[in-house]
Amino acid sequence: MIPGNHDQISWSGNEHSLTPLGNAYRIHANGDSSVQYPGPMIFSHPTKFLDALFVPHIRDKAKMQTILSSEEAIASDALFVHADVRGASMNDLILSQHGISSSYFPPSKLIYSGHFHKPHAMTGGASRLRYVGSPYQTSLSECGQQKSLLLLDSQQNWECVQEIPIDVGPKFHRYESIEHLVGEDVANLREGDHVVVSVDQVELEEMRNEPKVDDSRGIAFDSKVDQLRKTGVSVQIRDSPSRNVPEEKDDCSQENRVIEFDHATPRTLLERYLDFCLERGEIGAATAKSLLEGGLALLDRLDEKIEEPDSQASTVNIDLDSVTLCGLGPFRQQITYPVGNRGVVLLKGRNEDDESDR
């Protein structure tokens, strides 16, 4: 096993949560005696093993590039890494823009990587790079993804000789409308699964409050939701984003719009973000103005505190006394949480006013 970024505690990666597994073992009784079997072999540092190079997650890109270009990497039959590679699929919609270039990998090698949850292979490079993917779905962004276990043969240069489908853990399901959920057969959904359905809340309320004689969709929708929840399926109802998004006047769709973050100052980034929210109708002009003024004032205060005596940059500590939420998710009314001198605060609850379980 190699530590990934979520396993590592220190920036160097030397301290990580896989250490207990490396120290583990099991005992098998064999008559009057017993046999002790060691636990998993953990590679905390780049290690050559069975003609393959195992490289844990490394945050220093320059160091990672040096390792991938080393003689040991070039002489290996395959590489096992946990890396963000530029051009890889972070999910079904987004490609990595800031990862390490695939050109640093030695050519004509098999590369197996962790990090991104979507199982997929990268094409176009000199090497064959394959993201194994997570063993089960962890969020809605993995909806529809088939997970699998790859069986590799070290005697065949670590080629994949079998791909075993994995069907464990809860699954995520997305429905785009009332009609989509009502007309779908949900018999295959299991206890613990998560369903997210996008609806026009105004239309749904009209169906419930003023049902037409020839329109039973509201009743059918509520019945289907109740049926799912009784079987242990979590159902989250979201307001359809299309209702509040103005039509684009050019050929570029709203979903494909990209905010350029490279080389943007904090002020520019804040202005672009608020303009984007304003265009989408997520906030009003008065709210955007208030947020901009408050954000710029905070940035000015931070700039005043940042000094660099003797060319050594100083740090600025920000202590939050309270957090005020309004109009975010279930927080329709303004609510303030005191967080001063309280350490880590976990906010956990159940939203029951909008037919949501999350």
Per-residue exposure over 197-223, b if at least 16 CB sit within 10 Å of its own CB, e if not: bbbeeeebeebeeeeeeeeebbebbee
Measure the CA–CA gap between 196 and 174, rounded to whole angstroms: 5
Last residue of a domain, one of 133, 149, 166: 166
22 versus 76: which is more confidently predicted? 76
The pLDDT value given to residue 191? 93
Q: Which of 73-82, 177-186, 265-274 has the highest mean pLDDT?
A: 73-82
The pLDDT value given to residue 240? 72
Retrieve residue 331's tokens: 């927080």
* Residue ranges making up the domain that contains 233: 172-243
Query: Looking at the predicted structure, is the pLDDT value of residue 257 above 70?
Result: no
112 versus 337: which is more confidently predicted? 112
Domain membership of residue 13 (yes or no) is no
**Residue 52: phi, psi to the nearest 5?**
-125, 150
- Residue 270's pLDDT band (boundaries 50, 70, 90)? confident
**Is the Cα torsion angle 216, 217, 220, 223 positive or negative in sign?**
negative
Domain membership of residue 270 (yes or no) is no
Task: Provide the 3-class DSSP secondary structure of residue 30.
Answer: strand
The pLDDT value given to residue 69? 92
Domain membership of residue 287 (yes or no) is no
Task: Provide the 3-class DSSP secondary structure of residue 278.
Answer: helix
Query: Looking at the predicted structure, is the pLDDT value of residue 172 above 80?
Result: yes
Domain membership of residue 255 (yes or no) is no
Mean pLDDT, the chain, whole residue set:
81
Measure the CA–CA gap between 16 and 169, rounded to whole angstroms: 25
Q: Is 284 exposed, middle or buried (0-12, 13-18, 19+ CB in 10 A)?
A: exposed
Pair (224, 186) in one structural domain: yes
Number of domains in the chain: 3
Pair (217, 153) in one structural domain: no
**DSSP code of residue 8:** B
pTM over 0.85: no
7-11, 29-33, 159-163, 229-233: the lowest-pLDDT one:
29-33
pLDDT digits (tens, 9 = 90+) for 60-101: 989 999 999 999 999 999 999 999 999 999 988 888 888 899
Domain membership of residue 249 (yes or no) is no
Domain membership of residue 75 (yes or no) is yes
The pLDDT value given to residue 356? 43
Contacts of 322 (CB under 8 A, 6+ apart): 336, 337, 338, 339, 340
Last residue of a domain, one of 193, 224, 243: 243
- Residue 247's pLDDT band (boundaries 50, 70, 90)? very low
Pair (201, 158) in one structural domain: no
Round to the nearest angstrom and report the end-to-end CA distance of the chain.
Answer: 34
- Residue 250's pLDDT band (boundaries 50, 70, 90)? very low
Last residue of a domain, one of 166, 188, 223: 166
